């Protein structure tokens, strides 16, 4: 049974439970992310680990990619064994534990903390959105859309406030104390979830799989996974297995790309698809590639743009408030979610107005716009870094703010239509697996973002050239998507009409 009484802004009271849980989870995630590469590369005397930018970028990429990759087993465990509510509760505890482990002044414990956060986020992230949908099981129209809009506002509010709190504490006082505040935020989120979960009226409480024989098999798989993970962790901690972050990141990228190729190849060859289904799979492949390329650039916010803010941006504004004479670099991590909050209604109004006039761009055209805007954001950074090399000194904050503006507009063009069209295009018998490929593409993009960010951050003189490469990747891929958009729309067929894209 789901809640139907409007008690939270005219919506089910359970929405408030999920709103604040997601608010604190995103606070925790973005508060920690704002500090990660800064902490890794900071000198030992400043409380950091004194790791070079290339290795720090690889660690960031592995972490960010693994977070999305672990959403797949997180969803599977909820559906098969534990239910979504339990996975949210357990995931939140793992996230809090992980952040507190980051605060322990031991390198091995720090990496254990990253692993715990990856596991926790993989458990929580896919399941909380699923419960939001469950609350609106019988609402398919505007009320459901409004509920998700409120929920996503919680995401962006948490992401906006976190760098200003955890980032400031971490940079000004102590990095590890900043990580601890992220853990405290997640504990608050877990506590309020536990205390108010009754308002969910059973949504997501039980696993979808009820067949006893199947569940027995799934328990064996789960216990096998736990044993394997424990063995690998023990081997790493005892030095039996030595991990090089850069090599591991490259191997992970290759394996994830190979997994995507094998999966789509298997579907196309052995899926017994109709001509219409085959064409829609081609569209999905194009969308997954576009998504991967976009997030590979966009998620450099936590690596490349973080380094740019720390090392090359004039942060004297409000600097008199701080002993260093500069405001924290992590504050710029709050720019994107702030833009999202301000611009989301604007973009929604634009699409609505264009739709009334029958001029609303198709989904492929919106994705082309998103990629192009991503490239233009890097063009801004290319110009800024070139000016720094020519004139010396540092760039004004307006350059970074403008780059984030382009990237955010690109996100608003590309991201909202992705999951929606994946669910509409995928053949019903492959729907869940296709959603998995979307997360896989996002994971690959995040991993590449870390590798690229470490590469850029390690060579200041080469920044204009590196930013030019990223500009060309965004603009050229956007142009290619635009050129094939007509064919993709025809292949989308009725699914495109239903998506109103």
- Residue-wise pLDDT for 259-272, tens only, equals 889 989 988 998 88
Asked if residue 395 and residue 459 are part of one domain, the reply reads: yes
Asked if residue 344 and residue 200 are part of one domain, the reply reads: no
Length of the chain: 501
- Domain membership of residue 13 (yes or no) is yes
Q: Of the ranges 4-13, 279-288, 400-409, which is most confident? A: 400-409
Asked if residue 63 and residue 135 are part of one domain, the reply reads: yes
What single DSSP character describes residue 239? T
CA distance 245 to 53: 12
Mean pLDDT along residues 438-442: 86
Asked if residue 482 and residue 398 are part of one domain, the reply reads: yes
431-457 vs 245-270: helix axis angle to the nearest 10?
Answer: 150
Asked if residue 276 and residue 189 are part of one domain, the reply reads: no
476 CB-contact burial (10 Å; exposed 0-12 / middle 13-18 / buried 19+) = middle
pLDDT at 410 over 90: yes
Residue 71, both tokens = 């959403």
Asked if residue 257 and residue 203 are part of one domain, the reply reads: no
Q: What pLDDT sits at residue 431?
A: 67
% of residues, the chain, pLDDT over 90:
53
CA distance 379 to 373: 10
C-alpha distances in Å from residue 479, one per residue of 245, 420, 471: 34, 23, 12
- Domain membership of residue 216 (yes or no) is no
| Least confident residue range of 6-15, 75-84, 167-176, 282-291 | 6-15
Whole-number average pLDDT of the chain: 87
Distance between the two ends of the chain, CA-based, in angstroms? 33
Last residue of a domain, one of 210, 236, 258: 210
Q: What pLDDT sits at residue 166?
A: 95
Q: What pLDDT sits at residue 209?
A: 65
The overall pTM is greater than 0.95: no
CATH number where 431 lies: 1.20.1250.20
Asked if residue 259 and residue 202 are part of one domain, the reply reads: no
> Are residues 313 and 393 in contact, defined by beta-carbon separation less than 8 angstroms?
no
**CA 166, chain centre distance (Å):** 19
CA distance 252 to 271: 27
CA distance 299 to 57: 11
Residue 259, both tokens = 């997994």
Q: Which residues make Cβ contacts (< 8 Å) with residue 447, sequence separation at least 6?
A: 61, 62, 64, 65, 249, 252, 253, 256
Residue 139, both tokens = 């609402």
Asked if residue 290 and residue 375 are part of one domain, the reply reads: yes
Q: What pLDDT sits at residue 50?
A: 93
CA distance 430 to 423: 10
Say how many domains are in the chain.
Answer: 2
Greater confidence (207 vs 458) lies with 207
Strands of 60-184 (E only): list them.
none
CA distance 171 to 151: 30
Asked if residue 252 and residue 172 are part of one domain, the reply reads: no
- Work out the number of other CB atoms within 10 angstroms of the CB of residue 490: 12
Q: Is 357 helix (H, G, I), strand (E, B) or coil?
A: coil
Asked if residue 279 and residue 135 are part of one domain, the reply reads: no
- Domain membership of residue 448 (yes or no) is yes
- Domain membership of residue 229 (yes or no) is no
Greater confidence (423 vs 193) lies with 193
For 12, the enclosing helix (H) or strand (E) is strand 11-12
Asked if residue 493 and residue 402 are part of one domain, the reply reads: yes
Mean pLDDT along residues 210-214: 71
Residue 228, both tokens = 């394997």
> Are residues 209 and 80 in contact, defined by beta-carbon separation less than 8 angstroms?
yes
Its domain, for residue 473, covers: 248-501
pLDDT digits over 45-67, tens only? 999 999 998 899 999 999 999 99
Residue 412, both tokens = 């608003």
What single DSSP character describes residue 50? -
Asked if residue 158 and residue 48 are part of one domain, the reply reads: yes
Q: What pLDDT sits at residue 365?
A: 94
What single DSSP character describes residue 325? S
CA distance 2 to 277: 34
Last residue of a domain, one of 210, 238, 257: 210
**CA 127, chain centre distance (Å):** 15
Last residue of a domain, one of 155, 180, 210: 210
Q: Which residues make Cβ contacts (< 8 Å) with residue 150, sequence separation at least 6?
A: 9, 11, 15, 19
CA distance 388 to 308: 11
């Amino acid at each position: 049974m789901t809640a139907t009484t409007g008690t939270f802004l005219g919506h089910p009271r359970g929405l408030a439970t999920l709103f604040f849980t997601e608010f604190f989870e995103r606070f925790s995630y973005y508060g920690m992310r704002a500090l990660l590469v800064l902490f890794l590369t900071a000198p030992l005397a400043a409380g950091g680990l004194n790791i070079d930018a290339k290795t720090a970028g690889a660690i960031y990429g592995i972490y960010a990619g693994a977070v999305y990759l672990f959403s797949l087993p997180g969803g599977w465990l909820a559906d098969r064994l534990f239910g979504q509510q339990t996975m949210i509760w357990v995931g939140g505890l793992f996230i809090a534990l992980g952040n507190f482990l980051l605060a322990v002044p031991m390198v091995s414990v720090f990496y254990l903390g990253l692993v715990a956060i990856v596991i926790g986020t993989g458990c929580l992230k896919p399941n909380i959105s699923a419960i939001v949908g469950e609350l609106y099981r019988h609402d398919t129209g505007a009320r459901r859309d409004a509920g998700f809009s409120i929920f996503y506002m919680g995401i962006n509010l948490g992401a906006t406030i976190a760098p200003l709190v955890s980032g400031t504490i971490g940079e000004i006082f102590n990095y590890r104390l900043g990580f601890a505040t992220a853990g405290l935020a997640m504990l608050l989120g877990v506590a309020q979830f536990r205390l108010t979960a009754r308002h969910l009226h059973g949504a997501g409480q039980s696993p979808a799989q009820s067949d006893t024989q199947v569940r027995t098999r799934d328990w064996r798989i789960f216990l096998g996974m736990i044993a394997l993970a424990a063995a690998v962790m023990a081997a790493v901690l005892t030095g039996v297995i030595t991990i090089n972050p850069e090599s591991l990141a490259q191997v992970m990228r290759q394996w994830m790309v190979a997994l995507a190729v094998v999966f789509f190849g298997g579907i196309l060859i052995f899926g017994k698809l109709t001509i219409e289904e085959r064409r829609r799979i081609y569209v999905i492949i194009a969308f997954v590639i576009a998504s991967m390329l976009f997030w590979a650039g966009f998620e450099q916010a936590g690596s490349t743009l973080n380094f740019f803010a720390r090392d090359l941006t004039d942060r004297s504004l409000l600097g008199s408030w701080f002993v260093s004479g500069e405001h924290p670099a992590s504050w710029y991590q709050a720019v994107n979610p702030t833009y999202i909050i301000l611009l989301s209604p604007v973009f929604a109004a634009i699409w609505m107005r264009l739709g009334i006039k029958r001029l609303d761009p198709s989904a492929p055209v919106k994705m082309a716009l998103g990629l192009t805007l991503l490239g233009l954001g890097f063009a801004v950074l290319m110009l800024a870094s070139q000016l720094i090399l020519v004139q010396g000194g540092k760039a004004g904050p307006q350059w970074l703010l403008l780059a984030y503006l382009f990237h955010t507009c690109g996100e608003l063009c590309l991201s909202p239509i992705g999951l929606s069209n994946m669910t509409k295009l995928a053949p019903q018998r492959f729907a869940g697996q296709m959603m998995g490929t979307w997360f896989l593409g996002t994971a690959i993009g995040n991993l590449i973002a870390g590798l690229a960010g470490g590469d850029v951050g390690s060579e200041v003189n080469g920044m204009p050239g590196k930013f030019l490469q990223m500009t060309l990747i965004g603009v050229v891929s956007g142009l290619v998507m635009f050129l094939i958009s007509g064919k993709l729309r025809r292949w989308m067929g009725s699914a495109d009409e239903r998506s109103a894209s």
